[in-house]
Amino acid sequence: MTFRIGRNDNNRSKKWFAIFVGALMLMSVVGFVFSLNPSAQGAGFRYGGLVFQQDTQGFYTADVEGKQVDFFYRPDDVAGIELPSGAVRLITGSRAAYITYDWNSSRSELMALFQFDTAILLEKKWGVFVQPGFSTSNPMNASIVGCAEATGFVPVILLEAANNTGIRLDSSNSNCIVVGGDSDTGFLMAADRLKYAILQGGEK
């Protein structure tokens, strides 16, 4: 009888030990999955090989070889915005690109920020030289570039205030990527979507 009770106690101890070890393994796996999933983390996260930190205003910044790049949303927040097939590879596979917009646009400040940040991403990550320009005459006498000037060797990213938020290829020139937003928020979301995709180098 004594031996039987001891064996039951031993089995019970083994059972609880197995449960404990299993719980530790499960927590380790969950922690690892959370580390790969930006939406599962707190203020900071990793994406595309970069570490993003949230500032006091709630925006996100990352250091790209000594240059700061700003994002307004997390990757999961903008993942629902579709990207045209091959659009990102068109840009990252080129040696040079234009980023252009109407200097008098109501969203010109936001567009200028996108122009600045994306130039850093393309140069530092992919070795693509970005020439800033405007799509209309401007007091700075900067280059006037639109979709008509886009080529497979030097594609154009055209920024615009649009009726719909999204990213598309120009209907008359597939070497021109058009980023538009129906509001400041819409534009920033579309802009972040493209920036994250450029960081990854594909339509992810």
Q: What is the CATH number of the domain that holds 126?
A: 3.30.379
* pLDDT band at residue 28 using 50, 70 and 90 as cut-offs: very low
Q: Are residues 26 and 86 in the same domain?
A: no
Do residues 91 and 30 both lie within one domain? no
pLDDT at 42 over 70: no
pLDDT recorded at residue 25: 45
Arithmetic mean of pLDDT, 112-137: 95
Mean pLDDT of 99-115: 95
Residue 81's domain comprises 74-200
Look at residue 194 and tell me whether its pLDDT is greater than 90: yes
Structural domain total, the chain = 2
Could you tell me the pTM of the whole model? 0.76
**200 Cβ contact list (under 8 Å, min separation 6):** 47, 48, 88
Please report how many Cα atoms fall inside a 13 Å half-sphere around the Cα of residue 180, on the Cβ side. Answer: 14
Instruction: For residues 67-88, give the mean pLDDT.
Output: 95
Same domain, 13 and 87: no
If asked whether residues 89 and 182 sit together in one domain, one would say: yes
* Residue 164 belongs to a domain: yes
More confident call, 57 vs 154: 154
Same domain, 82 and 179: yes
- Long-range contacts, 70-75 (Cβ 8 Å, 24+): 70/113, 70/117, 71/192, 71/195, 71/196, 72/188, 72/189, 72/192, 73/188, 73/189, 73/192, 74/38, 74/39, 74/45, 75/38, 75/39, 75/47, 75/196
Q: pLDDT of 142-188, one tens digit each?
A: 889 999 999 999 999 999 998 899 999 999 999 999 999 999 999 99
Confidence of residue 48 (pLDDT cuts 50, 70, 90): confident
Would you say residue 6 has pLDDT above 90?
no
User: For position 16, what pLDDT does the model report?
Assistant: 44
**Structural domain contains residue 93:** yes
| 80 and 155 together in one domain | yes
Q: Are residues 79 and 32 in the same domain?
A: no
Considering the domain architecture, whether residues 107 and 181 belong to the same structural domain is answered as yes
Mean pLDDT on 61-75: 94
Asked whether residue 85 falls in the same domain as residue 14, the answer is no
